[in-house]
Chains A and B, each alone.
Chain A
Amino acid sequence: ETGVTQTPRHLVMGMTNKKSLKCEQHLGHNAMYWYKQSAKKPLELMFVYNFKEQTENNSVPSRFSPECPNSSHLFLHLHTLQPEDSALYLCASSQESGGVGELFFGEGSRLTVL
C-alpha cells in the first residue's frame, strides 16, 4: 500500500458511543495531522504530531483524544460527541511539521453523530 489510508470511511454514532478513527501512512513521514472539514468552511487543524510527539492542539474539546503510537499510525478516539461534530475528518502527513513540504491527505472518515 502507498500513501495515507484512513478507516473507517464512514461512521455513524450516537452521542454516548465510543469509537476510533485510524490513519496509517506509508510514506516514511515524521509528521501527522488531524483536520476537520465541514461544508463550505476552511480546513480546521485539530492536532499535529511530529516524531510521535504532540506539537499542537488547537483548543480541541476533550471528547476528541488523539493517539500516535509511532510515526506511521495516528488514531482519533471519539467519546460523547455532539451532532455539530458531524464532519469529514482528514488525516495528513508530511516529512516533518513546520517544514516546507506539502501535505499528503487520506480520503477521510465521514462522521455522522446522531
Chain B
Amino acid sequence: GQNIDQPTEMTATEGAIVQINCTYQTSGFNGLFWYQQHAGEAPTFLSYNVLDGLEEKGRFSSFLSRSKGYSYLLLKELQMKDSASYLCAVRDSNYQLIWGAGTKLIIKP
C-alpha cells in the first residue's frame, strides 16, 4: 500500500530551528508538496520538490531524496505564527496525491 509517515507533534522554541521529516512509500513519484494549516484555516501551499536537493524560500526550506523516499521541511528563526500543522503529500505515478496525517508544530516562547 501507499504510505506517508510524519511525526504527529513537535515542539520548538521561538527563534530556533526545527526540521519536520516525511518518509514515503508510494507507487511511483511525481513530486512532493508541503502545506501549512493553521487551526481553523485552509491548508496553504509552502513548497514543491520533484528533484533531489534543497529548495529554499525565505525562512522555510524543503529537502528531497528520492532514493531514500525522504523529505524534510526546515523552518528557521521560528516565530509564534509558525505554530500550525504541516502536511506532507506525494504525487504518485497516477498523479494522485497521497497525504500524511500532518505534524502539529507547537512554538513556545
When the two chains form their complex, are residues B101 and A40 in contact, meaning their CB atoms are under 8 A apart? yes
B residues touching A (Cβ–Cβ < 8 Å)?
Answer: 4, 8, 30-31, 33, 35, 40-45, 48, 50, 87, 89, 91, 95-102
Among the interface residues A42, A90, A108, which one has the most CB atoms of the partner chain B within 10 A? A42
Given A4-B42, A100-B30: A45 and B8 interface contact (C-beta under 8 Å): no
Which residues of the other chain, A, contact B91 by a CB distance below 8 angstroms?
100
Given A103-B43, A107-B42, 7 other A-B residues pairs in contact with their CB atoms under 8 A: A40-B101, A42-B4, A43-B87, A90-B42, A90-B43, A106-B42, A107-B41
Is the CB of A98 closer than 8 A to any CB of chain B? Answer: yes
Is the CB of A104 closer than 8 A to any CB of chain B? Answer: yes
The residue in chain A whose Cβ has the minimal distance to the Cβ of B87 is A43
With an 8 Å Cβ cutoff, the count of chain A residues facing the other chain is 18
Is the CB of A34 closer than 8 A to any CB of chain B? Answer: no
The residue in chain B whose Cβ has the minimal distance to the Cβ of A91 is B42
Shortest Cβ distance from residue B84 to the other chain A in the assembled complex, whole angstroms:
13
When the two chains form their complex, are residues A42 and B41 in contact, meaning their CB atoms are under 8 A apart? no
Q: Mark A35-52, 1 if CB is under 8 A from B, else 0.
A: 000001111010000000
